[in-house]
Each structure stands twice: as structure tokens, then as C-alpha cells.
A and B are shown apart, each in its own frame.
Chain A
Amino acid sequence: MNLTHLDDSQRPKMVDVSDKNQTTRVAVASGIIEMSQDAYDAIVSEKTKKGPVLQTAVIAAIMGVKQTSTLIPMCHPLNLSGINCDVEELDELPGFKLTVTAKLTGQTGVEMEALTGTSIGLLTIYDMVKAIDKGMVIRHVQLEEKSGGKNGDFKR
């Protein structure tokens, strides 16, 4: 199988996107952050020192989506037509599940953007409550689904 990010000599290259057809691409990624009850309660009751954690995490996730090209080598800056973030409270864990949907009409996939946004959003939650719990675990950062593009759709 050929990896599109490597050239004939197996060196990294930027994928040429100019000859792909413009279609609507959607990618959904999610991830979980697990934490102590104290940290969870502080976030839900908005009693953390650094301000509203979940709102900040959502904005950070969206910024992460847009900045993917500056973080991951050989990704292009994209003009995304839609980014949606959703945070689910998981009382029984306790923790939160962050889901990021990235959408664009264009020539390139957006799964890296959705995955990067998810990671940045979860890291932001960690940063804002690390004073309460340093043992938080970020896990299951994964692609849930993607559609559009020549390699077909994917759904977990």
C-alpha cells in the first residue's frame, strides 16, 4: 500500500490537493478525560479558579481544529465551513467526553483537524483543573466517522 505522505524515495512530501474533486468532507472525532470527583464537581459547578472550563475547552478545541496545519507536519491550512463541539458529562466515570465535528467543501480530508481539536480541547480541560487533580487521564481520542473523499466513508 502506498502512503500518500511519502514520495517515491519514501521521503515526506506535502500531498498535492490540486487535482482532487471538490466534495463535502465531514469528520467526527471524540475523546474522554477521566478525573477525580472533586475535579469533576468543580467543573460542573463552575467553581474553578481559571473560569468556565467547558466553554474555554470548546473554544480551544475550535482553535485547535483551525491550527492543525501549524502543528501536524504536511497538513494544509483549510477554510472550514463548519466546526461543532459538544461536551457530554459522564457522571459515573466521572469525566467528560468531547466530540468535535469538522466540515469543509474542498479537496482534502478533515479527520486530522477533528482529532487535533479533540486533543487540544481535552488538554485545555486538563490545564484548567490540574491544580485539583494531576492524575486525570485522557483516553480514547479516536475518529468516530468520516465521509466524503475517494477512500470512502468510515464509521466506527
Chain B
Amino acid sequence: MQQDTSIYKKITAFAIDLMGIDDVDSTLKFISSKANKLLNTQRCSIFVVDSENNAFWTILNDETDMITIPINSGIIGKTYATKMAQLVNNPYETSEFMSSIDKKIDFKTENIITAPIFDSKQEIIAIIELLNKNEGEFNDSDLEILNFFANFISGSLEFSLMDS
């Protein structure tokens, strides 16, 4: 319980640091690296909703490697459709899992958690996804932390997307 409180305080403090950043690329990068550290994971991706094209866009390895995926695809699509955080500890045995991104970046996804990020109108603007916990599998407490994190960074992300 004591540890829980401290992680939540870290997240609120991080959200304040994030307010100092304006542009989308830096905001996304800063959020990803913090999420990776907080939950001790190998990768973090943020899939931003492009509602005009019914798709998400995300940056994979570096700024030049931007990809788009259909809004209904994979665990990300499920997160969007259900508006609920998802926890998948056996992706290759799950029908929704899209292994094509793994192939593209030469990566093996072992486990996944995702959470929707809502804007001020309660619409989803992005999905945050964490892959491969460094120790063990994801649990409900990780999901709760990611939800809390998503909730706290949403305002900064909405501002940065509004300006872009």
C-alpha cells in the first residue's frame, strides 16, 4: 500500500513535468520512456487515433518510422472498441493479437497491457501499450497503474495534439 501511494505520487509529479513540453513528438517520447520505467517494461508505444481515416498512427523505432494500423486491429483495436484497458499474457495464443508488427521490428511480444487515453470530451484520443514486463507477467495492479498513468497524461497529450 505504501509503495502504491508513492508510485501514484510519482505519476502526478511526472504529469507536471510533462506540462512544460509542447510538441507532439517530444510529448509522446517523454510519456513512453516514463511508462517503460514505471512499469519496468521493454517497450511502450502510443497509438494516436486518426478518426478521419479510421486508423491509429504510431512511431515505432525512431521519428522516421511512422506506421498506421486500422482502428479495429489487434489488442489496440479491442481497447478502442471496448474503451477498457486490456491485459494479455499469452498474445500468440490470442486471436486478436497482430504479430505483423513483431515481424516488422524483429521483436517477440511476450505479454501486453494497454489502456485508453480519453480527452476532455471523454473520447479516446490514443491507446498506450506496454510490452514485455521485465520480471514475470502483468497483473491487475500493473493495469491499475497504467490506467492511472493514462488518466494523468491525457490533458498534456490533448493539448499537444490540439496544437499540431
**Residues of chain A whose beta carbon lies under 8 Å from any beta carbon of chain B:** 18, 51, 55-56, 58-60, 62-63, 66-67, 69-70, 76-77, 79-80, 82, 84-85
Contact = CB atoms under 8 A, between A and B. Distances in A.
Interface residues of B, number: 24
B12 A69 contact: yes
B28 to A, nearest CB: 17
B9 interface: yes
A70 B12 contact: yes
Given A62-B120, A63-B15, 17 more contacts: A51-B162, A59-B158, A59-B159, A60-B155, A66-B152, A66-B155, A67-B12, A67-B16, A69-B12, A70-B12, A70-B13, A77-B5, A77-B8, A77-B9, A79-B144, A79-B151, A84-B122
A58 B11 CA distance: 21
B41 interface: no
If over half of B's interface residues share one DSSP class (helix, strand or loop), that class is named, otherwise mixed; here it is helix
A82 to B, nearest CB: 8
B148 A59 contact: no
B58 interface: no
Contacts, number: 49
B147 A79 contact: yes
Nearest to B144: A79
26 contacts: A51-B162, A55-B120, A56-B159, A58-B120, A59-B119, A59-B120, A59-B158, A60-B155, A62-B154, A63-B19, A63-B155, A63-B156, A66-B12, A66-B15, A66-B151, A66-B155, A67-B16, A77-B5, A77-B9, A77-B11, A79-B8, A79-B148, A79-B151, A80-B151, A84-B122, A85-B120
Nearest to A85: B120
A59 B155 contact: yes
Contacts of B159: 56, 59
A33 B155 CA distance: 22
Nearest to A64: B155
A77 B16 CA distance: 13
> What 7 A-B pairs are tightest by C-beta distance, nearest first?
A63-B155, A77-B8, A59-B120, A77-B12, A79-B148, A58-B120, A62-B120
A70 B19 CA distance: 14
A146 to B, nearest CB: 21
